[in-house]
C-alpha cells in the first residue's frame, strides 16, 4: 500500500530544520487536492445518486462507517449537517469501530473486533433509502470491510472512500472513490494528507447534496440552526439578503 511507503530520504522531516520540514509538509499536503481532483468523476456520480435517493424519502439517512482517523473524519462531517443545513440529527448515523469512545482516544485494536458488527447493523434497520459512506485510508480495514460485506443484502447505496488502489472495499461498494495520495511524510500516518483528502471529498459530497435538496439558496444557508448570538446575527443577515434578492 502506498500510504505505508517510506518517504524519500531527502524528505525525512525529523532530519530537517523547522522551516525546511514545514515546507516539505505543506507541499506533501497539496497532493491531497490533486488526488481529489483526479476522482471528480466518481465524486460527481456519488453526489447525483445520493441526491436522487434522498429526494425519494424523508426518512433516508446518511450513515458513516470507519475506524480510527477515518471514523473521526466521518463524524466531523456528519455532525455539521444539522447546524449548517438543518438536516435532521435522526438522519445521520455512525458505525464506528470501538464506539463513541474511539472518537476521543485511539482504540487501535477496535478495527479488528468484528463480533458485534452484525448486531450494530441490525439495530440501524438499514433500508434502500439509506446512504452508507465507508471511509478507510488503507481500504482493507477489517471492521469497515465487514460492515460493507453485510450490507450487500440491504440494498442501501454503499460508497467507499479510500487512499489506495485495488482494495477489496472498492470492489464491494456501489461507488468506489479512490483518493490516491501516495506515501505520507511520516510513513503510514494517514491522519496527514490521506485524511485531508477524505475531508475535502466529504465536504464536496455533502455540501452539494444539501444544495440539490434545497438547503442552500444563492450560496446562503437558509436552514441553518441559530443556536448562539453569533449565529442569530448571521441568520438575520441571511434573512435580509433573501428578502433583498426576493429569494
Query: How much of the chain exceeds pLDDT 90, in percent?
Result: 68
Q: Where are the alpha helices (DSSP H) in 152-192?
A: 168-172
40-54 and 193-212 helices cross at what angle (nearest 10)?
Answer: 40
pLDDT band at 241 (very low <50, low <70, confident <90, very high): confident
Work out the number of other CB atoms within 10 angstroms of the CB of residue 105. Answer: 7
Write down the domain spans for the chain: 2-214
Domain boundaries 2-214, corresponding CATH code = 3.40.50.10490
Query: What would the pLDDT profile of 90-144 be if each residue is shown by its tens digit?
Result: 999 999 887 776 676 665 555 544 567 888 888 999 999 999 999 999 999 989 9
With left for phi above 0 and alpha for psi between -120 and 50, is residue 99 left, alpha or beta? left
Statement: residue 204 has pLDDT above 80: yes
Q: How many CB atoms lie within 10 A of CB 71?
A: 28
What are the phi and psi torsion angles at 152 (to 5°)?
A: -55, -30
Which residues does the annotation mark as catalytic?
80, 111
Alpha helices in 160-221 (DSSP H): 168-172, 193-212
Contact status, residue 4 vs residue 188, Cβ threshold 8 Å: yes
Angle at 207 between CA 202 and CA 209, to 5 degrees: 100
* Predicted confidence band of residue 196 (pLDDT cuts 50, 70, 90): very high
Average pLDDT of the residues in 13-35? 97
pTM of the entire structure?
A: 0.91
Is residue 72 over pLDDT 70?
yes
Query: C-alpha cell of 223?
Result: 436552514
Three cell numbers, residue 167:
482494495
> Could you tell me if 202 and 194 are in contact, meaning their C-beta atoms sit under 8 angstroms apart?
no
Q: By CB neighbour count within 10 A (0-12 exposed, 13-18 middle, 19+ buried), where does 181 fall?
A: buried
The region of weakest confidence among 16-20, 59-63, 111-115 is 111-115
Which of 143, 186, 185, 184 is CA-nearest to residue 164? 184
Supply the mean pLDDT for the chain. 90
User: For residue 217, which phi and psi values (nearest 5 degrees)?
Assistant: -130, 125
Give the 3-state secondary structure of residue 161. strand
Going by pLDDT thresholds of 50, 70 and 90, the confidence category of residue 238 is confident
What was the pLDDT predicted at 107? 54
* Res 153: pLDDT: 80
Amino acid at each position: 500500500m502506498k500510504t505505508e511507503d517510506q518517504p524519500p530520504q531527502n524528505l525525512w522531516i525529523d532530519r530537517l530544520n523547522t522551516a525546511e520540514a514545514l515546507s516539505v509538509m505543506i507541499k506533501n499536503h497539496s497532493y491531497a487536492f490533486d488526488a481529489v481532483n483526479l476522482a471528480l468523476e466518481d465524486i460527481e456520480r456519488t453526489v447525483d445518486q445520493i441526491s436522487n435517493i434522498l429526494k425519494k424519502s424523508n426518512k433516508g439517512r446518511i450513515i458513516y462507517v470507519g475506524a480510527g482517523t477515518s471514523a473521526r473524519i466521518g463524524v466531523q462531517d456528519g455532525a455539521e449537517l444539522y447546524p449548517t443545513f438543518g438536516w435532521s440529527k435522526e438522519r445521520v448515523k455512525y458505525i464506528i469501530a470501538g464506539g463513541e469512545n474511539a472518537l476521543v482516544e485511539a482504540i487501535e485494536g477496535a478495527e479488528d473486533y468484528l463480533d458485534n458488527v452484525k448486531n450494530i447493523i441490525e439495530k440501524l434497520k438499514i433500508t434502500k433509502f439509506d446512504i452508507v459512506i465507508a471511509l478507510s485510508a488503507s481500504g482493507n480495514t477489517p471492521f469497515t470491510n465487514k460492515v460493507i460485506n453485510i450490507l450487500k443484502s440491504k440494498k442501501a447505496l454503499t460508497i467507499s472512500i479510500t487512499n489506495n488502489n485495488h482494495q477489496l472495499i472498492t470492489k464491494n461498494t456501489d461507488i468506489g472513490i479512490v483518493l490516491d495520495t501516495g506515501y505520507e511524510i511520516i510513513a503510514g500516518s494517514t491522519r496527514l494528507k490521506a485524511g485531508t483528502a477524505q475531508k475535502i471529498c466529504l465536504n464536496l459530497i455533502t455540501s452539494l447534496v444539501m444544495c440539490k435538496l434545497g438547503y442552500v439558496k444563492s450560496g446562503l444557508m437558509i436552514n441553518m440552526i441559530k443556536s448562539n448570538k453569533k449565529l442569530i446575527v448571521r441568520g438575520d443577515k441571511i434573512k435580509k439578503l433573501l428578502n433583498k434578492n426576493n429569494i
